[in-house]
Amino acid sequence: MAYIGKSPTAAPLTSSDVTDGIITNAKLAQDIISADTALGAEPADTDEFLVSDAGVLKRMDYSHIKGGGKVLQVVSATDGTERSTTSTSWVTASSTLTLDITPSATSSKILLLLSTNIYINANDATITIFRDSTNLGHADYGFSYLHITADYTHPTIIELDSPSSTSQITYAMYIRNISGSSTVYAGKLGAKKSLVAMEIGA
């Protein structure tokens, strides 16, 4: 705009020059903090929050404040059929007591819960859990060992596994006859067996 005569002296804009409520989100740049757009999911690790640190306004990544230890998913398998073996090698207790789980992060842990009964008609039997081809228990004695002839055990096995993978993992219950002279039964008389895998976020 042209002026007749001398241009007026420039003066800084003050809060009293702006009427309350007349500036809308549409008039603001998108890189300012506003509530114009909603976040429809859990923040990413690099998403930032504003915090007051002893009166000084600072930004902080979500990775520093997010809670850990959450149960991210649960997968389970059950079997109500009596299974048995005379093998001295580790064998699956049943094809139905096998489950697949795909961790969402390499930092996740898998909490495993196995409940069953084990019976032997002679000496020495044991039970374990495999992750794919890896025995998570003792190489020979697994997680629970029976020695006395014609004995029952009802173990509840709890194992926290760290697979460090985001690929599909198979967990399964395995049993074996140690002495070579017994038959090992899992789920004797059809007692229910159960295997549960829970992904725990870091």
| Tens place of pLDDT per residue across the chain (202 aa) | 566 767 777 777 777 777 877 777 677 676 666 666 778 888 888 888 888 888 788 888 887 777 667 899 999 999 999 999 999 999 987 777 999 999 999 999 999 999 998 888 888 889 999 999 999 999 999 998 888 777 777 888 999 999 999 999 999 999 999 887 788 999 888 889 999 999 998 7
Please give the Cα distance from 168 to 183 (Å, whole number): 33
pTM value surpassing 0.85 = no
**Does the domain at residues 71-200 carry the CATH identifier 2.60.120.1340?**
yes
Tokens 């093998």 — which residue? Answer: 87
Amino acid code (one letter) for 160? L
Instruction: Report the largest interatomic distance among the alpha carbons of the chain, rounded to a whole angstrom.
Output: 115
In DSSP terms, 173 is beta-bridged to 129
Spatial distance between the Cα atoms of 116 and 131, rounded to a whole number of angstroms:
18
Question: Is the Cα dihedral 158, 163, 164, 169 positive or negative?
Answer: negative
CA distances from 183 to 59, 72, 144, 179, 189 (A): 64, 39, 16, 10, 14
Angle at 187 between CA 181 and CA 110, to 5 degrees: 105
Helices (H) and strands (E) in the chain, counts: 0, 16
Report pLDDT for 2: 64
Q: pLDDT value at position 149?
A: 73
Token pair belonging to 154:
């009802």
* Positions of E strands within the chain: 48-53, 56-61, 71-79, 83-85, 91-92, 98-101, 109-115, 118-120, 125-131, 134-135, 144-146, 151-153, 156-161, 169-177, 184-186, 193-200
Query: Dihedrals φ, ψ of 8, to 5°?
Result: -70, 155
Q: What is the pLDDT of residue 103?
A: 95
Domain boundaries in the chain? Answer: 71-200
